[in-house]
Amino acid sequence: MKKIGLFYGTTGGRTTGVVDEFEFNLREEAEIFNVENGIAKLTEFENLILVTPSYGFGELEAHWEEVIEEFKTLDFTGKIVGLVGLGSQTTFGESFVGALEVLYNIVLKKGGKIIGLTSTDGYNFEECEAIVDNKFMGLVLDEENQDDMTADRIFDWLEEIKKEFI
């Protein structure tokens, strides 16, 4: 398997803990980048994991917002992409992990292949824009309400998506 580029944004710092868990699982299989420092390296990877919390009403995290116009110009042909969304199903249950949909639509439109859709079982929310064919558009993590499930969710998801990376 070629090296994975993992790109994440965080405002409040919760995502940093999640990324640490990815790093623990992937070790030298991945290189990790905070999008606060730009996304120039993204073109170097065919295997990608993109991580964003949702802010506003199901919108991208602020550092992702800063790079999203550049992101839209990239060619994702030949790239295999797993998405990870953080959110809160209690406080923001009407726009749960909506930011995932923003990345999902751009990657698909620009020729990328999205892997790692997941079941909505075990989550309790009102509305979510990031669902296709009854599945979340990626891995969904809720550090406010279900942080005790995060390590297992990451482990299980990685087992699945690593089969599809090249």
Strands 139-141 and 80-86: parallel
**Separation between Cα atoms, residue 72 and residue 91, nearest integer Å:** 30
Residue of minimal CB distance from ligand FMN? 87
**Separation between Cα atoms, residue 166 and residue 146, nearest integer Å:** 31
**Separation between Cα atoms, residue 106 and residue 48, nearest integer Å:** 14
Residues numbered 21 to 80 that lie near ligand FMN (CB under 6 A) are 53-58, 61
Residue 101 touching ligand FMN (CB under 6 A): no
CB of 96 to ligand FMN, least distance (A): 4
Local structure of 101: helix, strand or coil: helix
Residue closer to ligand FMN by CB (options 14, 79) is: 14
CB of 90 to ligand FMN, least distance (A): 10
Residue 10 touching ligand FMN (CB under 6 A): yes
**Separation between Cα atoms, residue 142 and residue 87, nearest integer Å:** 5
**Separation between Cα atoms, residue 45 and residue 43, nearest integer Å:** 6
Which DSSP symbol is given to 49?
A: E
Interacting residue with ligand FMN among 64, 83, 95, 107 (CB under 6 A): 95
How many chain residues interact with ligand FMN (CB under 6 A)?
23
Interacting stretch for ligand FMN, rule CB under 6 A, among 5-13, 25-33, 104-112, 148-156?
Answer: 5-13
Q: Would you say 120 and 136 are in contact if contact means Cβ atoms under 8 Å apart? A: yes
Interacting stretch for ligand FMN, rule CB under 6 A, among 30-38, 81-89, 104-112, 116-124?
Answer: 81-89
CB of 24 to ligand FMN, least distance (A): 17
Residue 139 CB-half CA count within 13 A: 26
Q: Residues interacting with ligand FMN, by CB under 6 A? A: 10-15, 53-58, 61, 86-88, 92, 95-98, 143-144
